[in-house]
Structures are given as C-alpha cells and as structure tokens.
Amino acid sequence: MAIVKTVRGFSPKWGSNCFFADNCVIVGEVTMGDNCTVWFNAVVRGDVHSITIGNNTNIQDGAVIHCTYQKAKTVIGSNVSIAHNAIVHGCTVEDNVLIGMGAIIMDDAVIGNNSVIAAGAVVLPKTVVEPGSIYAGMPAKKVKEIGDEMREVIQRTARNYPMYAEWFK
C-alpha cells in the first residue's frame, strides 16, 4: 500500500481515478488532479512547501518531487510525464511536458508548455525553458524546437500511463 501521510497538518488530496503504486510516498501539502499516477519508489514530498499537480500527469518509478522551505513551491501542469529517476524541485512545469529519465529541474526554473527536457539534462535554477522546445545537456540548453512527431510522443506518453495503471488495479 502506498505511503500517504499528513505532515504539519497538511494531508495529500487527489482527484478521481488516480493510481499510487504500493511503495510510492506522497506526504504533506500535495494536491493532485484526476487520472494521475505515481509509480514504484516515487516520492512526492510536500513537507516544506506545496506541490500542485494537474490532471493526467504521471510520476514514474524513482522520481522525486520536492520543494524548498519557505522559498520555492512546485507546480506541475496537466499531461506531464516525469520519467524514471527524474528530480523536479521547487519549480514550475507547464502543460504537455516530457521530462526525461534522470533529468534534474532545479528551483525557480520554468518549463514552458509543449517542451521536452532530455534524459540526464540538468536545468539550473531560474532557467526559463521556451515553450515548444527541447533542452538537453548539463547545464541544459535549447537544442531545437519540437516537431509534430515529438508532440505526439508527449501526448501518447501522458495518455498511456492511466492505461498502464489499470493493469495493476
């Protein structure tokens, strides 16, 4: 059973049809929309500030979502896929975004709509990722605009995770 805990008087809240894997952790001031999934060993830790997540967002295995005490909350939009072992910390991720495996998004960064953060990329604090672009590297820099094919990958990934969750229910 997923670990869901109240911290400092804040209890996680979520919408309908969400899936939480048996060993994921969701604590504190976390608000999640409908059709969200939090996978094995993922941590959504709203103990020091708030975490808000839109609809149809998936947080894959081993990912960590956190924030900075009294400084940086985390806001994640709808149709966002946060891949395995990514870290999303004290930042804003707008709608229709794919964050690759092992990527790190740091405090006060803003990831624009319809963007991709490549696997292993490190988005430094206060970086603003242009909507519709792909950022890669360490530190992450714009490498190109996304095309129709990548737009479909973003949408398909977000659509598939609620389907995968049904296999575990």
Could you read off the pLDDT of 122-131 as tens digits, one per residue? 999 999 999 9
Q: Read off the pTM.
A: 0.97
Look up tokens 């830790």; give the residue: 45
The pLDDT of residue 31: 98
What residues of the chain score a pLDDT lower than 70? none
Show the domains of the chain with their CATH numbers: 3-168 (2.160.10.10)
Q: How far apart are CA 100 and CA 102, in angstroms?
A: 6
The candidate with the shortest Cα–Cα distance to 40, out of 75, 77, 85, is 85
The pLDDT of residue 169: 85
The pLDDT of residue 145: 98
Q: Over the Cα atoms of the chain, what is R_g?
A: 15
The candidate with the shortest Cα–Cα distance to 68, out of 109, 119, 96, is 109
User: Counting runs of H as helices and runs of E as strands, what totals does the chain give?
Assistant: 1, 20
Q: How far apart are CA 36 and CA 21, in angstroms?
A: 11
Q: How would DSSP label each residue in 52-81?
A: EE-SS-EE-TT-EEE-BTTTB-EEE-SS-E
Look up tokens 């804003």; give the residue: 92
The pLDDT of residue 60: 98
